[in-house]
Amino acid sequence: MSFEWVQIAYAALTVFIVINYGLIMTAVVQKIGARVGGRYGIPVWQNYIDLVKNIALRSKISHGVMFYLGPVFRLTGGIGLLLFVPTIYGSVMHQNFAFAGDLILALYFVFFGTLGMALGAGESGHPHAAIGVSRGLAQVTAAELPLALAVFAISLQYQTLSITEIVAAQQGGLFNWTLFTNPIATLAAMFALVGTMMRAPFDVVVAPQEIPIGPPTEYHSAYLALMQTNRVLFPVAKTVIYMNLFFGGASNWGEFAVKVFAIYMVSVLVGVVHPRFRVEQSIRFFLKWGLPVGILAILVV
């Protein structure tokens, strides 16, 4: 078997592992949130049941080609983000296609899925879908500003756009992590993290009272299954970016599981103690707090 096919097989294995890890982790996080609210919460296997059920359903509704490509673009953003960063540093099997990507490509994939979903939902012709995606795009765009500035700061610090080289520069000890060598850039990026994970206080776009005006109402059956798959994959893929850029990466799956869960829990802990912001409040928050910290991160490099 040629090297290319072996690399593709390893990449597919990585996606399989991360999807299953995401299905279990997001269920555990939902249970934690429920326990904080005095409820029992869902069983850890509930996400599997929901996913299989929706995959088995079919739809006869037609809204045009772009409508059906929306969930595909959404899932492509998550898979692309995961495959072009090193999942396990130093592993031949799980380096994926990190040699072909860099920070700019990773930032593109972060926004690619959201933009694809906006185009797809808009194809349905329902004005409420357009309202939902416009709110989501506005909030995600504001949240990405401090992340972009943090990424520019650490690319100047390490003099490279290669994620693998940035991870390599953080090896050798805990205090070599970007968290300690550039805490301001890390803080700016963490502002973006809590905003893009779609958890409280930044989850009004997917809140129960808002769902009737967004893509979850327009999409159903197997298309909803694609969105559910991305909902467990994409947060993990974004967290892998943070782990590689600011927390030293992971050299094995055990370290990967612990670090990803710990980073993800930052947004969970913020979410369980804060009420939801309105969209305009979210945007003002990122412009008032996240953006200045991101600018400061560049100035102090």
Using 50, 70 and 90 to split pLDDT, how confident is the model at 297? very high
Tell me what the mean pLDDT of segment 10-18 comes to: 92
Using 50, 70 and 90 to split pLDDT, how confident is the model at 19? very high
Among 70-74, 119-123, 221-225, 282-286, the range of highest mean pLDDT: 282-286
Q: What is the DSSP string of 125-155?
A: --HHHHHHHHHHHHHHHHHHHHHHHHHHHHH
Sequence spans of domains, the chain: 6-300
CA end-to-end span of the chain, whole Å? Answer: 46
Check residue 195 and give its pLDDT: 87
**3-state DSSP helix/strand/coil % of the chain, to nearest 5:** 75, 0, 25
State pTM to two decimals: 0.90
Any residues with CB less than 8 A from the CB of 281 and at least 6 apart, and which?
none
Tell me what the mean pLDDT of segment 145-174 comes to: 93
Q: Which of 126, 35, 179, 17 is nearest to 82 (CA)?
A: 17
Higher pLDDT, 242 or 72: 242
SS3 of 2, please?
coil
Triad 269, 116, 197: Cα angle to 5°: 5
